[in-house]
Amino acid sequence: MTAGTAPQVAADGETVDLAIVGAGPAGMAAAIRAAELGLAVVVFDDQPAPGGQIYRNVAHPPPLPRHVLGPDYHAGAALVARFLASGAEYRPSSVVWHVAEGSLSHTGPDGGGTLAARRILIATGAMERPFPVPGWTLPGVMTAGAAQIMLKASATVVDDAVFAGSGPLLYLVVAQYLRAGIRIRALLDTTPRGARRRALARLGSAWSGRTTLAKGLGLLAEIRRAGVTVHRHVADLAAVGTDRLDAVTWRSGSVRHRLDCATLFLHQGIVPNVNTAMAVGCSHRWDEGQLCWRPTLDAAGRSSVPGVMVAGDGGGIAGAVAAALSGEIAAIAAASDLGRIDGATRDRLLGPLESRRRRDMAVRPFLETLYRPADADRIPSRDETLVCRCEEVDRGTLADIVRRGCPGPNQIKAFSRCGMGPCQGRLCGHTVTELFADLTGRSPDEVGHYRIRMPIKPVTLGDIAGP
């Protein structure tokens, strides 16, 4: 299933102008603009349909009333349609497992191979921040994002779930569940006391922010109107059970609570999905506002590796509107770097996009302050909490290794296998860096992140040997 008819687009073996990894808003917007500017573009995405996280399945959504997933979701259908008509070659269900300067390797239904590309745009988006609490590996515990994916992809839901954590996506998923008529056991809100006051002080003159703020408050009001039990200032969350989840426990003030439940959806905001950019060797910095790693990029999205660019939430959390704008900006910069447009054209095209992005981003400091996860919800303090889900390494083991003088995350792997499982550190990388920094009094930048290696996704030996 290949969309588009652009004659200039090539099979493997030839060199394309721009290869894009990810067909979310960033990758789709980049592809549309690049194709318009005459570039030969190929877009790889591991999902069967374009859209990325926010617009997952939007061209063929499950037959639910439109208000369930909401207007922000359905708005993506227009972008998907433009993308499919853009002339960019689209390869669905295709995983990119290796990226280097000038080429990438992929595997999918059409076989796989290595494609040479003059520019590569990593638009792999975000993932949910790990929320390591005791028992978070028990069957029955999933993420709020997972609940939303099941709803968007298969209209699949579960009754009487507990949702716990903080952040706009959590409230959105709860609201989507309620609009679909699904009973919710409770919402346990971990947003720390005083967050709203601190955040309002940062709203300043961010006028555009008022819409976002109104939307957020609207969701909370919608949840309250629906009569869902909401517990605020939840701390010390734990999932309890032996072979599967039986209950969730938490503290508010000095009172310990317990609620029996079979499903718990956790959420603590989102962080850039940095494995691809890290594996290519792009330099990264710790962002203290967003509490995550992000690649060091110039204003157009060029990384420290020549020819490799990053757009969208994978370059730092900015939301879907800014993701699409950053994709367009990167495409224009790539066209200009490849000599397809002159400097004057580039600047004329970039100007309005950059100011729209600046306006859209003005609300970010406010959101980052409002939904800044509490230290205790990122850096586990109980020894029994698993940090590495794959290799089952708990906080106590890691703290012990750090106390014995282990110099950094890469060495921790050798002592404990932490970060060496199939997820390649995606679910523990942020926690290990922050735990290490906390225990040694160093900054996350000084501590660093695991070295990430290719392949970035599991492949068979056949994929590596090539067709």
Partner 1 sequence: MFRSLTEPTGRLVTVSLDGRSVELPEGDNLAVALLRAGHGPFRTTPAKAAPRQPYCMMGVCFECLAEIDGVPNRQTCQERVVPGQSIRRQDGARSTGSAAAPAPAARGTP
Ligand X SMILES: Cc1cc2nc3c(=O)[nH]c(=O)nc-3n(C[C@H](O)[C@@H](O)[C@H](O)COP(=O)(O)OP(=O)(O)OC[C@H]3O[C@@H](n4cnc5c(N)ncnc54)[C@H](O)[C@@H]3O)c2cc1C
Figure out which of the listed residues 276, 385, 424, 431 binds partner 1, where binding follows CB under 8 A.
424
Cα-based distances in Å from 260 to 161, 164, 228, 244, 247: 10, 14, 16, 12, 4
Does residue 46 bind ligand X (CB under 6 A)?
A: yes
Figure out which of the listed residues 161, 245, 270, 332 binds ligand X, where binding follows CB under 6 A.
270
> Judging by beta carbons within 10 Å of its beta carbon (0-12, 13-18, 19+), is residue 225 exposed, middle or buried?
exposed
- Rounded to the nearest 10 degrees, how much is the dihedral formed by the CA atoms of 126, 130, 135, 140? -10
* Residue 455, binding choice from partner 1, ligand X, none, Cβ under 5 to 8 Å by partner class: partner 1
Q: Residue 68 carries which side chain, given as an amino acid letter?
A: V
Does residue 43 bind ligand X (CB under 6 A)?
A: no
Stretch that binds ligand X, among 183-191, 253-261, 313-321, 430-438 (CB under 6 A): 313-321
Q: x-or-dash pattern for partner 1, window 117-146, by CB under 8 A? A: ----------xx--------x-xxxxx-xx
User: Which residue's CB is nearer to partner 1, number 95 or number 379?
Assistant: 95
Does residue 446 bind partner 1 (CB under 8 A)?
A: no
- How many beta carbons lie within 10 A of that of residue 242, not counting itself? 8
Which residues, including other chains, have CB under 8 Å from residue 269's CB and lie 6 or more apart?
A: 128, 129, 165, 166, 167, 169, 317, 371, 373
| Contact (Cβ atoms closer than 8 angstroms) between residue 99 and residue 122 | yes
Q: x-or-dash pattern for ligand X, window 219-248, by CB under 6 A? A: ------------------------------
Closest CA to 323 of 77, 19, 28, 59: 28
**Quick one: tokens of 97?**
């497992």
**Quick one: tokens of 72?**
């922000």
Stretch that binds ligand X, among 58-66, 155-163, 301-309, 314-322 (CB under 6 A): 314-322
Stretch that binds partner 1, among 29-37, 58-66, 335-343, 436-444 (CB under 8 A): 58-66
| CA dist., res. 258 & res. 249, Å (int) | 4
| CA dist., res. 257 & res. 133, Å (int) | 15
* Residue 270, binding choice from partner 1, ligand X, none, Cβ under 5 to 8 Å by partner class: ligand X
| Contact (Cβ atoms closer than 8 angstroms) between residue 93 and residue 46 | yes
Does residue 172 bind ligand X (CB under 6 A)?
A: yes
Does residue 357 bind partner 1 (CB under 8 A)?
A: no
Contacts to partner 1 by CB under 8 A:
46, 48, 53, 62-64, 95, 98, 100, 105, 127-128, 137, 139-143, 145-146, 149-150, 153-159, 180, 243-244, 273, 279-281, 389-392, 417, 420-424, 426-427, 453-455, 457-461, 464
Contacts to ligand X by CB under 6 A:
21-27, 44-47, 52-54, 72, 95-96, 123-128, 145, 148-149, 169, 172, 270, 276, 312-314, 319-320, 323, 456-457
